[in-house]
A and B are shown apart, each in its own frame.
Chain A
């Protein structure tokens, strides 16, 4: 079987995040990295291969800037066999809906039995890309998967919920998004880092991929950002000192005041 893992270039954890005040888009001029949640997706794909499932190909699919090379090299070093980079000025400014359509269009051509996404990207934190992609592909979806197994053409996924775990089965081909609890990604060895250079990277434009230009980019966006403002300042906390065993009551009272409990 074939596995496709969606990977995204995001500003690195150490660089300050800033919205461009004129375009309301994220300033991507600083250092970037591979979205950490996608690393869990890649690791899971490799683990399936190592567990003896016949995984012919693991392809990493990225929509991003032409110079997303560094994160993509990392995806290859971590174990992807091939990378497809969808890059086009026409895609800039795409919203969730446009991005999902574009990714799905590329994914359709990859013959993937399983499409894996990270549960969120560390820059936009929208959590819904997997659902939107699955909808375009008309495939079953399991999100926030914390443990995964495969048997025949069926996947069995445990997903964490507020009240415990759901165990969900879905038939392939399917789409999943993985939580960061699913595995502990390994570090790429130096040989793997060197070997990544020799693996193929296909760069495709929106036209190559057969993407309808009216559905992507700023023009195709279904959501419009009217204004942005910084989050409200954090309220001052209250310090509760224990003066002879009364602190638990004080904490309960504090929480009750705010309607938290």
Chain B
């Protein structure tokens, strides 16, 4: 008898803290940040003080020393209010910090990990290139050794968190030889490493997304992460873990969209009664409620498997696929319940609707997710 659905007191309290932060500090400014496309550095720092930027990292590394379930709950709660902020935290933790934590040498950890896990600096992960999206192994960026330094040339596309005032470093994949991909850390401020202006986006507008260019960019040979040639295996492992947080993000968005739809349905009257009394509206909400419940179980289970040290990649891919599609469906239905008001900027559901689409693309498209799941099935 070990199956249990109760959260521990600590998990419940973490949810309470993150919810209070999200509702108290994010909700009042989310619309403005979205409209202005402004990255909220001050709120990221406030979240760092609460320990939200290093939840699953050990305390000895500067993190909060909690687990993946806690991390998933936190991302869920942030995304319930503002998914731009949630992706800032998720990309920093899963993509920016984890490579150093998992593959860094003692010296590399001593140099970077504390700043990242405590949230004093933000980390980014640069995998995608113009010619290497779903086919992430097709990296063209090169790094060659010259006098004890890597000389990096190439570019990266759509990279989160690389150009904010808090950005500290990016881990990039680069070709270090024929048929050889390695991960190399490049600190912000290194000569030859440039970030474009923030890209203009349909959603996630207050998260930082840029194109990065490397022109004769020189970093110490010691910035190589793990053994040379391990880059491909390393980024697959990073993406496996990252999927749990993106899945939690989809769950949070669906939950938020659901709550907005439910309260609107109770309060909006047409034909002399609340629209929630019409079966057509009731069924929409009943469907979303059902799917949100299923999604939460998928996400928490993936996180739990990881915390137990078990194989979790398949469950994480399933959760990521399901929640990404659910977030879009839920936001669409919730907006529909809001009618014309939902199309207006004042109603957060319009922002949710725009934000949700990216969950079917980022960190592995729906199609790629199905490929991963099918591979897990032995096909």
Binding site for B on A (CB under 8 A): 69-70, 73-74, 77, 187-191, 193-194, 196-197
Q: Which of A74, A187, A194, A196 contacts B65 (CB 8 A)?
A: A194
Closest chain B residue to A69, Cβ basis? B9
Cβ–Cβ contact B13 & A70, under 8 A: yes
Indicate if B133 sits at the interface (CB-CB under 8 A): no
Q: Which of B10, B20, B52 contacts A194 (CB 8 A)?
A: B10
Least CB distance, A87 to chain B, in whole angstroms = 16
A69-B9, A74-B13, A188-B17 given; A194·B50 CB < 8 A: no
Indicate if B59 sits at the interface (CB-CB under 8 A): yes
A189-B51, A191-B64, A194-B66 given; A73·B10 CB < 8 A: yes
Least CB distance, B41 to chain A, in whole angstroms = 19
Closest chain A residue to B70, Cβ basis? A190
Closest chain A residue to B19, Cβ basis? A187
Interface of B is mostly: helix
Least CB distance, B172 to chain A, in whole angstroms = 30
Lowest 9 A-B CB distances belong to which pairs? A190-B51, A190-B64, A73-B9, A189-B51, A70-B9, A187-B17, A189-B50, A193-B13, A191-B51
Q: Which of B10, B21, B59 contacts A193 (CB 8 A)?
A: B10
Least CB distance, B309 to chain A, in whole angstroms = 20
Cβ–Cβ contact B9 & A190, under 8 A: no
Indicate if B12 sits at the interface (CB-CB under 8 A): yes
Tell me the complex Cα distance, A191–B50, Å. Answer: 8
Cβ–Cβ contact A187 & B20, under 8 A: yes
How many residues on chain B are close to A (CB under 8 Å)? 19
Chain A residues with Cβ below 8 Å from B55 are 190
Least CB distance, B115 to chain A, in whole angstroms = 16
For window 16-30 of chain B, which residues contact chain A by CB distance below 8 Å?
16-17, 20-21
Cβ–Cβ contact B70 & A191, under 8 A: no
Cβ–Cβ contact B66 & A190, under 8 A: yes
Tell me the complex Cα distance, A69–B66, Å. Answer: 19
Chain B residues with Cβ below 8 Å from A70 are 9, 12-13
Cβ–Cβ contact A190 & B20, under 8 A: no
Least CB distance, B64 to chain A, in whole angstroms = 4
Q: Which of A69, A189, A196, A197 contacts B49 (CB 8 A)?
A: A189
Indicate if B14 sits at the interface (CB-CB under 8 A): yes
Tell me the complex Cα distance, A70–B64, Å. Answer: 20
* Best-surrounded residue of A190, A191, A197 (most CB of chain B within 10 A): A190
For window 33-70 of chain B, which residues contact chain A by CB distance below 8 Å?
49-52, 55, 59, 64-66, 70
Chain A residues with Cβ below 8 Å from B65 are 191, 194
Tell me the complex Cα distance, A194–B67, Å. Answer: 11
Least CB distance, A70 to chain B, in whole angstroms = 5
Chain A residues with Cβ below 8 Å from B51 are 189-191
28 pairs, CB–CB < 8 Å, chain A vs chain B: A70-B13, A73-B10, A74-B16, A187-B17, A187-B20, A188-B17, A189-B49, A189-B50, A189-B51, A190-B14, A190-B17, A190-B50, A190-B51, A190-B52, A190-B55, A190-B64, A190-B66, A190-B70, A191-B51, A191-B64, A191-B65, A193-B14, A193-B17, A194-B59, A194-B66, A196-B10, A196-B13, A197-B10
Least CB distance, A79 to chain B, in whole angstroms = 14
Tell me the complex Cα distance, A193–B52, Å. Answer: 12
Tell me the complex Cα distance, A193–B16, Å. Answer: 11
Closest chain B residue to A77, Cβ basis? B13
Chain A residues with Cβ below 8 Å from B9 are 69-70, 73
Tell me the complex Cα distance, A79–B197, Å. Answer: 43
Other A-B pairs beyond A77-B13, A190-B50, 19, CB < 8 Å? A70-B13, A74-B13, A187-B17, A187-B20, A187-B21, A187-B50, A188-B17, A189-B17, A189-B49, A189-B50, A190-B64, A190-B70, A191-B59, A191-B65, A193-B10, A193-B13, A194-B66, A196-B10, A196-B13
